[in-house]
Amino acid sequence: MSYQALARKYRPQRFADMIGQDTVVRTLQNAIESGRIHHAYLFAGVRGIGKTTAARILAKALNCAHGPAKEPDNACSICTEITEGIDLDVREIDAATYTGVDNIRELREVTQFQPARDRYRVFIIDEAHMLSAGAWNALLKILEEPPPHVIFMFATTEIAKVPATIISRVQRHQLRKVSLEELLARLQQICEAEGIEATRDALEIVARRGEGSVRDSLSLLDQIIAFSGRNITADDVATILGLADTNFFARLVGSIGDGDHGTILEALGEAADSGRDFKMLFRDLLNFVRNLLLVAGGAPPAMIAGTPEDVATIRSLSERFSYSDLLRIANLLIRDDETVNRAEHQRLAVEIALLKAATFPRLKAVEEALGGGTTPAPSTPSRRSSGPAGEPALRSAPQQKASGDLSALTARLQKARPMIASYVDQAKSATKEGNRIIYTFADAAYVDLLLDAKATIEQIATEVFGEKISIDARADAPEPRAEGRRAEEKPSALRDDPIFKSFQKHLGAEIKESR
């Protein structure tokens, strides 16, 4: 019998089974009962508290053969198919992969059709903050005049990244972190259903560590069951979650510093054997690196959660690094946080993130051996040691000739028309020749979007420059970068690097640029 993760096995199929989201549930049910059905919903909140779950239940409640009703019956073929994820009219879209021009066109077209069978054609767009500017624009056009049979449900952990123009057109539901008591009760109920004996103390530690997330609490419980079987005590939980961690993370970070890939993989292998959740492992690692930074920066021991031994371990480790090296490692890891969270193969994603961090000092050495002189690319989180240490990388701006003026324009657009600014942001280059500004884009779709907004940009540009400005946009094939070519010719040391080779083999990596 295969083991099914608890979070999947116990996904609520009715509103009544959801915990901690009473306000949202009541609002949705009242709306259904009184027939006030919105065409766009947005579910916001941290991970694992029921955003996707609520969207799916709502889709069922609205489409159920015996609905629209306050609860789906979970018996008709529509409910069953939605639960299984095979209903033709209820589509789940992962925003991160849904960015291409074809997808946007498809979205426009598909909303024009009547549903195949159900009452509504529902699009559940998960991780909505990852949508491209082009996709948002297409959605905005649909939301301005929504076809009556189409319903969008967005879910996001980062509402700040959703354009204001979209937010003003959706019904927004803020989901909350679940309280400790509710989590505890849920864990008890699930243990009972699974025939697992767990003390209240043990489950309380789990619930605390879950930090308000039902999913995280359940994956912790999975790990603990894998370790201690059907009898769980507080001691077991402390062992699994506990202090052994400081040594474990010290070993990991130590080997990142040493560039010791073997030890990194070995340690992660042990973590996998003991059933650890890699997403959480990565978050704990970030926390550990934060503690290292605190200690290295001279913070008093009281600021670091842990025993005196933990603090001593952290201190002696921190002495092996310069502060800027620590910042560099922290920056590299933070950049991969999102990737790890979203990855399907989380162990692999964590391995790659750590190997990358461990390889970084050597990449730098290669670059220096080449004679240096390359400027950090905009997206590089780290800076040369002479720069302000660890200052977060600025968002990449188009390469601008008259950069002062053009960036004033970009800043104005960002304030006044964030959606348009996000297209401009995609430009490969921006040049001002006399009273003409020309943007070039690698993706032709953006040329259309920009030209759609031409009049607005011209008006704002005219204000910014104090003269009449005209705007033009062109598609431009990506050209190989000068540095990229050089990197390909020279650094045989990099090409022979075992880590690079493994990136190349497993992920099809190529050397574009050495930093």
Ligand X SMILES: Nc1ncnc2c1ncn2[C@@H]1O[C@H](COP(=O)(O)OP(=O)(O)O)[C@@H](O)[C@H]1O
Give residues in contact with ligand X (CB under 6 A): 7-8, 10-12, 18-21, 47-53, 155, 214-215, 218
Q: How far is the CB of 160 from ligand X (least distance, A)?
A: 17
Are 96 and 155 in contact by the 8 Å Cβ rule? The answer is: no
Which CB sits closer to Zn ion, 24 or 79?
Answer: 79
Cα separations (Å) of 27 from 14, 32, 128, 279?
15, 9, 22, 33
Q: How far is the CB of 313 from Mg ion (least distance, A)?
A: 36
How many amino acids of this chain bind Mg ion (CB under 5 A)? Answer: 1
Measured between alpha carbons, how far apart are the two ends of the chain, in Å?
Answer: 49
Are 276 and 340 in contact by the 8 Å Cβ rule? The answer is: no
Beta strands in 184-292 (DSSP E): 197-198, 231-232
**Span interacting with Zn ion, options 57-65, 192-200, 236-244, 421-429, rule CB under 5 A:** 57-65
Q: How far is the CB of 333 from ligand X (least distance, A)?
A: 22
Q: How far is the CB of 80 from Zn ion (least distance, A)?
A: 8
Q: How far is the CB of 203 from ligand X (least distance, A)?
A: 15
Select from Zn ion, Mg ion, ligand X, none the partner in contact with residue 115, using the beta carbon and a kind-dependent cut-off of 5 to 8 Å: none
Q: Which of 7, 64, 340, 430 binds Zn ion (CB under 5 A)?
A: 64
> Which residues does 402 contact at the CB level (< 8 Å), separation at least 6?
432
Are 224 and 206 in contact by the 8 Å Cβ rule? The answer is: yes
Which CB sits closer to Mg ion, 213 or 228?
Answer: 213
Which CB sits closer to ligand X, 58 or 352?
Answer: 58
Question: 3-state secondary structure string, 119-145?
Answer: CCEEEEEECHHHCCHHHHHHHHHHHHC
Q: Which of 31, 37, 46, 76 binds Zn ion (CB under 5 A)?
A: 76
Is 266 in a helix, a strand, or coil? helix
Q: Which one-letter amino acid corresponds to residue 245?
A: D
Cα separations (Å) of 418 from 135, 137, 168?
14, 11, 14
Select from Zn ion, ligand X, Mg ion, none the partner in contact with residue 323, using the beta carbon and a kind-dependent cut-off of 5 to 8 Å: none
Which CB sits closer to ligand X, 151 or 354?
Answer: 151
Of all residues in the shown chain, the one whose CB is closest to Mg ion is 52
Task: Considering only CA atoms, give the Rg of the chain.
Answer: 26
Which CB sits closer to Mg ion, 52 or 422?
Answer: 52
Is residue 53 a contact residue for Mg ion (CB under 5 A)? no
Which CB sits closer to ligand X, 94 or 258?
Answer: 94
CA atoms within 13 A on the CB side of 298: 0
Is residue 21 a contact residue for Mg ion (CB under 5 A)? no
How many amino acids of this chain bind Zn ion (CB under 5 A)? Answer: 5
Return phi, psi of residue 380, to 5°.
Answer: -70, 125
Q: How far is the CB of 247 from Zn ion (least distance, A)?
A: 52
Select from Zn ion, ligand X, Mg ion, none the partner in contact with residue 358, using the beta carbon and a kind-dependent cut-off of 5 to 8 Å: none
> Which residues does 317 contact at the CB level (< 8 Å), separation at least 6?
250, 253, 254, 292
Select from Mg ion, ligand X, Zn ion, none the partner in contact with residue 76, using the beta carbon and a kind-dependent cut-off of 5 to 8 Å: Zn ion
Cα separations (Å) of 370 from 142, 238, 491, 499, 514?
52, 50, 8, 19, 10
Q: How far is the CB of 178 from Zn ion (least distance, A)?
A: 27
Is residue 52 a contact residue for Mg ion (CB under 5 A)? yes
Which CB sits closer to Mg ion, 171 or 341?
Answer: 341
Which CB sits closer to Mg ion, 94 or 197?
Answer: 94
Which CB sits closer to Mg ion, 157 or 228?
Answer: 157
Q: How far is the CB of 193 from Zn ion (least distance, A)?
A: 24
Q: How far is the CB of 97 from ligand X (least distance, A)?
A: 17
Are 221 and 187 in contact by the 8 Å Cβ rule? The answer is: yes
> Backbone dihedral region of 35: left (phi > 0), alpha (psi from -120 to 50 degrees) or beta?
left
Question: 3-state secondary structure string, 281-322?
Answer: HHHHHHHHHHHHHHHHCCCCHHHCCCCHHHHHHHHHHHCCCC
Q: How far is the CB of 161 from Zn ion (least distance, A)?
A: 34
Residues lying near Mg ion in the complex (CB under 5 A) = 52
Question: Which positions touch Zn ion (CB under 5 A)?
Answer: 64, 72-73, 76, 79
